[in-house]
Amino acid sequence: MAEAEFETFTLSNGIRCVHRRPRGGRADSVAHIALTIGAGTRDEAAEQHGVAHLVEHLMFKGTGRRSAYQVNSLLENSGGELNAFTTKEETVIHATLLRSEFAKGVDLLSDMAFNSRFDSRELDKEREVIIDEINSYKDSPAELIFDEFEELLFVGSPLGRNILGSKRNLKRATREQLVDYVRGNYRPGQVVFSASARMSHKRFREVCEKYLGHLSFRDSDGAFVRKAPARQPKFEITRHKSTYQTHCLIGGYGYDLNDEKRVLLAFLINVLGGPSSVSRLNMQLREKHALTYNVEAGYVPYSDSGVYTIYLGCDKDKLDRSMELVREELRKLRETKLTPVQLARAKKQFIGQLAISSENTENLMLGIAKSVLVYNTFDSTAEIAAKIGAITSEELQAAAREIFSEENQYTLIYQ
């Protein structure tokens, strides 16, 4: 009897593991692995701001068993790729490697996450690298505006902090802060290992037991708790900056990860300004009126809040008209239900995008790991498609009225 495509289990120390056994194809010799840790920048203490991202950098600079060169060359010498990223709520180390190197890769990710040296000399180097990254970021207003928008929307909450940290805190960061952050936040219940590899589930479990099952964690100092951010009064802020283009962000609060209506908002955002060239905002602002080269909508759900955004860049004299058209599209979604034809077309497009994105195995496994981390389960592509297929125009309109209300349209402009 053929094995199921997926298997999940929990090791004795609390780490959850997910294995996908591909059903064949040309990529049999390639594996994708990821260690997802449910701790990010919002879990830093105020004096630690920037430490989560700094920890990610220092993971590549040596462990108790490997030098920096050995960490970086172990998989790459065989053609593999090793990378990591930090978000506000997660830290992820991931790799693409030959299947023959699978056990070696699991050992490496475990070593990096739980046995990094955080050498003081390397710390001094990396703090300067990140400060350079912060300085270069200031030359990218189209990216910087997103960070400031969330700082304003979540002011007073760690969720509002940018991921890179502040130069002041980075200059004062110590090895002890990095160690304390890892000990306090890298808890077994917050760790998921996911992999797509052409091997039996039994063999996968054996590798996980060997390289992850031996890890021990100190007793947690209480439950892992995050405090939901308070809702802020509506703002409309303009910053005067010496930029060629005017940059505008309209957005507000969205549904959190535990709200079942999050799929409705994700659907609406795709209709409004998703990657398709026929999205409503692209058709209105670019194709019909030629006001802007780029306009896009996005939605990021967090564990206890969320944010939706609409970004556009245009000439200064086109800003008022561009904003007028954006607000008009939001009004239409609030006041007019999608027709059966519009709804069917939007569903077909959204489901197609999900199906195509699921062909990217690395992204698929990262998404599954996030789902297991948050919900302790995950939906198949078919199950997700069924949920989208069941969406009604009445549900969408109700969500649009709630999220796209005029009271929930905050504005930040760089010009």
Local confidence band at 27 (pLDDT 50, 70, 90 cut-offs):
low
List, for residues 263-273, the tens digit of each pLDDT value.
999 999 999 99
Q: What number is the average pLDDT over the span 81-93? A: 97
pLDDT in the model for residue 223: 59
Q: Which residues contact 379 (CB under 8 A, 6 or more apart)?
A: 371, 387
Contact between 330 and 401 (Cβ < 8 Å): no
Q: Does residue 57 carry a pLDDT above 70?
A: yes
Phi, psi of 316 (to 5 degrees): -55, -40
Which helix (H) or strand (E) segment holds residue 237: the answer is strand 236-239
Least confident piece of the model among 184-188, 282-286, 367-371: 184-188
The proportion of the chain whose per-residue pLDDT surpasses 70, expressed as a percent, equals 97
More confident residue, 411 or 4: 411
Edge to edge, the sheet with strand 306-314 lists 236-239, 410-414, 246-253, 306-314, 292-301
Q: Which of 317, 288, 293, 302 is nearest to 259 (CA)?
A: 302
Residues written for the chain = 415
Local confidence band at 225 (pLDDT 50, 70, 90 cut-offs):
confident
Local confidence band at 48 (pLDDT 50, 70, 90 cut-offs):
confident
Q: Does residue 132 carry a pLDDT above 60?
A: yes
pLDDT in the model for residue 138: 82
Q: What is the DSSP string of 386-398?
A: HHHHT--HHHHHH
Q: Does residue 375 carry a pLDDT above 70?
A: yes
In whole angstroms, what is the distance from residue 404 CA to residue 386 CA? Answer: 25
pLDDT in the model for residue 370: 97
What does pLDDT average to over the chain?
A: 94
Local confidence band at 154 (pLDDT 50, 70, 90 cut-offs):
very high
Tokens of residue 251, six digits: 């957005």
**To which residue do tokens 């034809």 refer?**
341
Q: Does residue 408 carry a pLDDT above 90?
A: yes
Q: Does residue 315 carry a pLDDT above 90?
A: yes
**To which residue do tokens 């027709």 refer?**
339
pLDDT in the model for residue 389: 96
pLDDT in the model for residue 37: 97
pLDDT in the model for residue 23: 78
Contact between 197 and 19 (Cβ < 8 Å): yes
pLDDT in the model for residue 221: 54
In whole angstroms, what is the distance from residue 261 CA to residue 256 CA? Answer: 9
Local confidence band at 218 (pLDDT 50, 70, 90 cut-offs):
low
The proportion of the chain whose per-residue pLDDT surpasses 90, expressed as a percent, equals 88
Least confident piece of the model among 3-12, 55-64, 216-225, 405-414: 216-225
pLDDT in the model for residue 374: 96
The model carries a pTM of 0.93
Q: Which residues contact 255 (CB under 8 A, 6 or more apart)?
A: 261, 262, 264, 265, 301, 306, 403
Local confidence band at 70 (pLDDT 50, 70, 90 cut-offs):
very high
Q: Does residue 222 carry a pLDDT above 80?
A: no
Q: Does residue 2 carry a pLDDT above 80?
A: no
In whole angstroms, what is the distance from residue 196 CA to residue 268 CA? Answer: 31
